[in-house]
Structure formats: C-alpha cells, structure tokens
A and B are shown apart, each in its own frame.
Chain A
Amino acid sequence: MTRKALAILLLAVFGAAMIPFQRNLDATQKAAGLRQTTLDLDLRERLGQMGFLAALSGFRSPLAAYLWIEAHNAWERTEWGRMAGLFDTVTTLQPRSLLYWDMAGWHMAWNASVAALDDKTQPSEALRIRNQRQYFKLGRDYLERGIKNNPDSYFLKERLGILLRDKLEDHGGAAGAFLQASQSADSPAYIARFAGYELAKCPGREQEAYDLLTKLYDKGPEERKPSLISTLKELEKKLDVPPQQRINSPQP
C-alpha cells in the first residue's frame, strides 16, 4: 500500500516537473502552426457527443473525412443547406487542409449558386438571383477564411481570384488576389500573368497592368504566351506607347 501511494506521489512530482516542458512544447507546436483547431461548445453541438469525443481523442482528421463524405452524399441529393453546415464543421476540424476550403468554396459558388438560379420552386427571378449571389458570397467567405488560416499558401488566393473573376466579375479584386498569390514562393508562373490580365480589365489601372505584363514579357520566351502578347498590344494602343518602346512580337 505504501509503495503504491509513494508511486502516485512520485507520479505527481514528475507531473509537476513536466509542466514547464509541456507548456513550452505546447507553445512551440502552436507557433509552428500545429494543433490550432479550437474545439468549443459550438463544435460540440454540431458534432454530437460521440463525434466531439472522437475529435478530442485524436481522431479529428478521420472524423473530418467522414463528414466530408456525408457532404458529398448531401451534394448528390442537392441538399445545399446541409452541405454548408457540414463544410463549416469539416473546415473547423481541419483548418489547415486547403482542399476542404477550396472544395467548400467551389461547391457553394459554382454548384449551389447555379442550383439557386435554376430553382423551379422559386417563381421570382429577383429572389433567385439574390439567392445565387448569397451562394457566391458564401463561397467567397470559405476561401477568405481558408486564406486567413493558411496565409502562406498561394492556392486559396488563386482560387479566390478565379471566383472573383468568373463569378463576381470583380476584376480589381481578382487582380489583387492573383497578385497576392503570385508573391508566394511556390506559386506557378501563370498566376502573375492572370493578375496582369485582370488589371488590364480595370478602367484606370491600364498603366499598372502594362508595367506588370511588360516586366513578365522581359523575363523571356517562357512568359511570352499568346494571351500576354495580345493583352500587351491592346494596352500599348490604349496607353499610346511610342512605337520604339513597343514589344517586337507579332500579333498572335
């Protein structure tokens, strides 16, 4: 009995000695961007008791995968509201997964928005358009929250740029998103070109677009794509660039 009591006492002393190390490791892991998911009461309500217990016990990722499959099934049944709820839970469980943010944004802005516009049960076109724009907003919101959680990655910034360009026709916003994406070390070369193309569509920002695209053109043949050359030629005309300063490439 004494031996067991002494063992428990020693365990407590060890526990006390480990606290500074545990706290330091906790801080180091969080500073490295690990274990940042907040498991709060809101998530507890959404997951249910067993789900929350699983999330607490280190099975956050398989649980997110399971809920993602549920969301996929909801998509097949076109239950858009349920999908949005599941996406919220999945992205809360795995905020570092770019895929979940991207797919959630895509489903809302591309699929749910089209379904809202084609909704046969809603006779008012104005309301259908309003619903469509709400889904665009929801898609944008997922991507922006994803970027906030993963500021170092170019991927979601590029996706946001595509959404702003193709769905909201916000060329200035799209250019900003592409420019931000192009600043990441691992971003593909075409993203900077996308930023230039979008800037060229913004009235009053043609000079900015011209400067960016000329800089890319000067990098060499790799960058001299037909779209870049034709956009530059249009900008040269618009900005009335002197002939000697114009690019040599023929119109594609």
Chain B
Amino acid sequence: MFTRISAIARNTFTDLVRQKVFYILLVFALCAIGSSVFMAQLRVEAQFQMIKDVCLGAMSIFTSLLAILATANFLPRDVEDRTIYTLLSKPVPRFAYLLGKLAGLIVLLFLFTVLMSLVFSTVLWLREQAALAQIRTEFSAAPAEELQQALKTVTDSTFNANLVPGILIIFIKSALLAALTLLISTFATSALFTVMIAAAIYFIGHLQATAREAWLSGVDTQWWTRILVALISLLFPDLQAFNLADDMIAGAAIPWNVFLETFALGWTYVAVYFALAAFVFSGREL
C-alpha cells in the first residue's frame, strides 16, 4: 500500500513541478530583492524589519495560493484526462489515491517553503553584511564598546531563531488549506467552485475565533446570528491560531509548548479533513 501511495505522491509532485509552479520563486525573489533595494533608504533596523515583513507575508500568500489552486485542480483534471479511471481500475483504494495526491502536494509545499526561506535568508544575510561593513567604517574611530553595541544592534535585528517556528507554522497552515481544499473538491462540481469556497473559508477561518468566543460567551443577539456564529465555530478551522509570524517578525519568542500545540492543531486538522475527504470520495460516482 505504501508503495502505491508513494508512487502517486511522486507522480503528483512531478506533475506539479512540470506545471512550473517553481516560477513563483522568481516572483518571490524579485519581491525580496526589490524590497531590500528599495528599503536601503531607511534606517538599518527598519530595513531588516521591512524585508522580514515583505518576505514572510509573501511566503504566506504564495504557499496559501499554491495549496488552494493546486489542490482544487487535482480531481477535475484527473477526471478530464481520465487518468483517475486508469488508476482506480487497478488495486488502488480511493483513499490511497487521495492520500498520494495530498502527500505529493505537502512535499511540494515543504520544498517550496524551504526554497523561499533560503532566498529570504540570502537576501537578509547580504543586507546584514553590507550594514555591518558600513558600521565598521563609520565607527572605526569610536570606542570598542560603542562599535560592539552598534554591531549587536544590526545582528539582533536580522536573524533570530524565532523565525524558524514562524516559517514552519506558515507551512502547516498551507498543508491545512491543502487538506481542506481536497475535502471541498471531493463534492465540488468544478475547480472554480472549489477555489471560491476555499478562499471564502480562508477569510471566514480567520474570524472563527471571534465567532467562537461570541457564541460561547452567550452575547445576547438574535437567534439566527447565534446559529450563524455557532455554525462558523463548529465547521470552520481557527486560522488565526496560525498567524504567529507577525509577532515573530517583531521579535517575540515562541515558547516550545505553544509551537508544539499549534503544530499538533495543524496536523489534526489535516488528518481529519483528509479522513472526511476520503469518506466522501469513497461514495462519489465517477
């Protein structure tokens, strides 16, 4: 079974690579390099903050878009190409087909996140080296303590270990969106419908925590609004829980327990959405 799933995953990965999704990396690199050149007029710490803001924001947008758009196309394309019939006529259970597809995309999303992180780190490192060289020249006559302090200000504002969990959480969020889109596509009639519903859930998911607290605190509103917030709380994922990158850019540290709990929440969503997708897909007429 594992061999079959990994074969489908490999095939999905290769197929996505052939669709030239990695060209998005060029756009990302342009964003990163362009922002770093433009920010050169700002103060050194401001430059680094802006580069991090732009790069992590772009990472979040690109991974989310890739997760939704690529997953939404899986089933309609395979039905249109008739590859799904060839595959499912062999001893491949439907859940294995879906799992292979999802695994292939998650591997691609991971690689995509790693490559974007490398571009981001390179741009940040180059700016850091330029800033350090400039400071060494400017402070050449200053006391050693002042020079060390100025250098520390620069190094403190560039890399910090907290960025790694922040990037990993961006990846988990994209994996969650992929699983969610897969679930929608199992009952959707077209790729366009899937993309629209997934995009709507993306925005509503960011309000789920607000709806949940309003529902549970029993705010005295009309009966239909209470039903609405209850439905949002129960059916949508809490996507705000994955928005930690903003705080990490600002220098906040993420404790390990928080990171692990968020990580676990993400994978729980992925597992449950996949299970439901497999359940719906197993009864679907092809």
The interface of chain A, by Cβ under 8 A from chain B, is 3-4, 6-8, 10-12, 14-16, 18-19, 21-26, 28-29, 32-35, 37, 53, 56-62, 64-65, 68-69, 72, 94-100, 103, 188-190
Contact A62 B257 (CB under 8 A): no
- Select one of A26, A37, A68, A98 contacting B251, CB under 8 A: A98
Cβ-defined contact, A32 with B240, below 8 A: no
- Contact flag A23-B212 (CB < 8 Å), given A61-B53, A61-B57, A96-B250: yes
Q: Do residues A32 and B280 form an inter-chain contact, with CB atoms below 8 A?
A: no
Some 18 contacts from A to B, beta carbons below 8 A apart, are: A7-B276, A15-B234, A29-B244, A35-B243, A35-B244, A37-B246, A57-B202, A57-B206, A58-B240, A58-B246, A61-B57, A64-B53, A68-B50, A94-B246, A94-B250, A98-B250, A99-B157, A190-B145
Given A65-B54, A68-B46, A103-B43, A58–B247 Cβ distance below 8 Å? no
Contact of A28 among B250, B251, B257 (CB under 8 A): B257
B130 within 8 A of A: no
| CB-defined contacts of A72 to chain B, threshold 8 Å | 41-42
Enumerate chain B residues within 8 angstroms of A68, measured Cβ to Cβ: 46, 50
Report how far A56 CA is from B240 CA in the complex, Å. 8
Q: How far is the CB of A53 from chain B (nearest CB, A)?
A: 7
Q: Point out the residues of chain B lying under 8 angstroms from A24, CB to CB.
A: 261
Q: B221-252: contact bitstring with A at CB < 8 Å (1 yes, 0 no)?
A: 00000000001011110111111111101111
How far is the CB of B150 from the nearest CB of chain A, in Å? 11
Interface of B is mostly: helix
Asked if A21 and B243 make an inter-chain contact with CB atoms under 8 angstroms apart, the answer reads no
User: Distance (Å) between the CB of B258 and the closest chain A CB?
Assistant: 5
Name B residues whose Cβ lies closer than 8 Å to a Cβ of A.
Answer: 41-43, 45-46, 49-50, 52-54, 56-58, 60-61, 145, 149, 157, 173, 183, 187, 202-203, 206-207, 209, 212, 216, 231, 233-236, 238-247, 249-255, 257-258, 261-262, 265, 268, 272, 276, 279-280, 283
Q: Which residues of A contact B236 (CB under 8 A)?
A: 15
* Docked-complex contact A96 and B265, CB < 8 angstroms: no
Given A33-B247, A56-B203, the answer on whether A15 and B280 have CB atoms closer than 8 Å is no
Kindly list chain A residues whose C-beta atoms are within 8 Å of the C-beta of B187: 4, 7
Q: Which of A8, A22, A97 meets B209, CB within 8 Å?
A: A22
CB-based contact A69/B203 at 8 Å: no
- Min Cβ gap A71→B in Å is 11
Contacts of A99 in B (CB 8 A): 45-46, 49, 157
On chain B, the residues within 8 Å of A16 by CB distance are 234
Known: A19-B212, A94-B250. A62 touches B265 (CB 8 A): no
Bound together, the chains give a CA A100 to CA B50 distance in angstroms of 11
Chain A's closest residue to B282 (CB) is: A3
**Given A29-B244, A97-B49: A58 touches B209 (CB 8 Å cut-off):** no
Contacts A11-B276, A34-B247, A61-B250 known; list 10 others, CB within 8 Å: A14-B272, A15-B233, A19-B233, A32-B252, A37-B246, A57-B203, A59-B57, A61-B249, A72-B42, A99-B157
Enumerate chain B residues within 8 angstroms of A53, measured Cβ to Cβ: 203
Q: Output the least CB separation between A162 and chain B (Å).
A: 14
CA distance in complex: A47, B272 (Å):
36
